[in-house]
Structure 1
Amino acid sequence: MHKRTANVNRIKVIAASNSAIVGIGDVTYSSPVSNIIAVQKEGNVFINEENKYDFNKYPVFSRSPAEHHDHPIRVQEDTTHHVPAIGVNKVDVYGVASSSIFQVGSLGHIDAEARLKHIRILKDEQK
């Protein structure tokens, strides 16, 4: 496949976090991985126990990843580029997070994984 140049006048990214990638240029391979335990507490609930939220306690972090192919799936493709470059005036991105990628340029292969355990602690459950 013939590659084209991407001409971008302005890129504004507000936030990138949790294994997120903001990439400019061509990339052969990328594999962002993110394991997150998010704890949301209602009111003034304080827990002082050390290692209360250990990744080993939650099966989501030890399960095998979803089935994927060890080799790329070949797709027959015929593309006609009418111009040698892609022109974009501006790109505004509010957030890139949890193993996601904002890429300007080509990306040959991606193998991303994000695992999240969300825990909510309510006042009524603390009694």
Structure 2
Amino acid sequence: MLKRSSVVNTVKVNSASFASTIQLGDSCSINGFSRALAVQREAEVFYGKEGNFSNYQVFSEPIPLMPITEKITISTHNTLPVIKVNTISIIAMSSAAILHVGNSENISLEARVKHIRQLLNADEEQ
């Protein structure tokens, strides 16, 4: 990995949550992982067994990663091996988001969300 310096004058992040990472400088690897159930209900009814990720196939399905088969040739020349950033301003980061200034050898990010909408039947409406 190339050795570089990262210079940032100002970083302002209002909110970073749910496996978010702020990384200034080089890293060998970054791994971000987040799972969430997003349930919208017409009525506040709780059944007591919500939140079991294993009940939903989306959380256990393998993610297909296509192999890179093209030959890649890279030639770089860094006159000044410094990464300079004046200002970074972020309102919010969530669900395995990464703010990274610098070099990284390996980055792996995964966020899985199951959206569920539970509507009342006509006879259940209040």
TM bin (shorter chain):
0.7 to 0.9
Provide the rounded CA distance (Å) in 2 between the counterparts of 1:48 and 1:29: 40
If the length of structure 2 is used for normalisation, what is the TM-score? Answer: 0.80
1:84 aligned to 2:97?
no
Provide the rounded CA distance (Å) in 1 between the counterparts of 2:93 and 2:29: 18
Identity of counterpart residues, as a percentage? 32
Query: Relative to structure 2, which stretch is displaced further, 3-12 or 60-69?
Result: 60-69
Choose from 91, 96, 100 the match for 1:94: 91
- Confirm or deny: 8 A CA contact 2:13 2:92 kept in the other structure: yes
Q: Tell me the C-alpha RMSD between the 2 structures.
A: 2.5
Structure 1 equivalent of residue 103 of structure 2: 106
1:48 aligned to 2:46?
yes
1:4-57 alpha-carbon deviations (Å, 9 max, x no partner): 322111001111112111112221012111111011234xx1223111342122
Return 5+ residue gaps in structure 2 as ranges.
none
Query: Is the partner of 1:83 in helix, strand or coil?
Result: coil
Provide the rounded CA distance (Å) in 2 between the counterparts of 1:19 and 1:25: 19
Shift of 1:120: 2.2
C-alpha spacing 1:124/1:82, structure 2 compared with 1 (3 Å)? farther
Structure 1 equivalent of residue 63 of structure 2: 65
Structure 2 equivalent of residue 34 of structure 1: 34
**Which amino acid in the other structure matches residue 67 of structure 1?**
L
Runs (4+) of structure 1 exceeding 3 A deviation are 122-126
Return 5+ residue gaps in structure 1 as ranges.
none
- Confirm or deny: 8 A CA contact 2:12 2:89 kept in the other structure: yes
**Which amino acid in the other structure matches residue 120 of structure 1?**
R
Provide the rounded CA distance (Å) in 1 between the counterparts of 2:123 and 2:34: 30
**Which amino acid in the other structure matches residue 17 of structure 2?**
S
